[in-house]
Amino acid sequence: MKKVFVFVVVGVVLFSGALLFAADKAVPEDYDEDTYGPKDPIVWEKPVKAVVFDHKVHTMEGGLECDSCHDELFQMEAGAAQENDDFTMATLYDGGYCGACHDGSTAFASNTRCTACHIGVRGSDRLQGDAAAGKKAH
């Protein structure tokens, strides 16, 4: 009897652990990439490591259409922008790239909240680690 109880408790703990892990990812199971864009965040490592962009925040939560960014500001190709020499804060402050909206009126200004976009070396390694772990789990 005691053993069964222990099994149930362990089961519940593991199950809620899995739920918490899923919630932490914050991408719903039925997230539709055709409607909202790629599920995985885009990470740039140039010129500085690393800056992150999340489609979900902008489309599903922010209500933006694809053509508010594609293809005038960004190509539909992860990593394309970081090949340009002008992918810098100076261009953002001038209203280019993210700065088209992150100007303090449409969205928070590019000269504030640095760490909302910049996740640093460790943040990037963590994301990559998560992605690798996620792939193994599937």
- Contact positions vs ligand HEC (CB under 6 A): 35-38, 42, 44, 46-48, 50-51, 53, 55, 57-59, 62, 64, 66, 68-70, 73-82, 87-90, 92, 97-98, 100-102, 106-108, 110-111, 113-114, 116-118
Smallest gap from Cβ 86 to ligand HEC, in A, equals 10
Instruction: Please give the Cα distance from 6 to 17 (Å, whole number).
Output: 16
- CA distances 89 to 27, 32, 52, 83, 85, Å, are 29, 32, 14, 15, 11
For residue 133, the minimal CB distance to ligand HEC (Å) is: 19
The torsion angles phi and psi of 18, rounded to 5 degrees, stand at: -65, -40
- From the CB of 30, what's the least distance to ligand HEC, in Å? 15
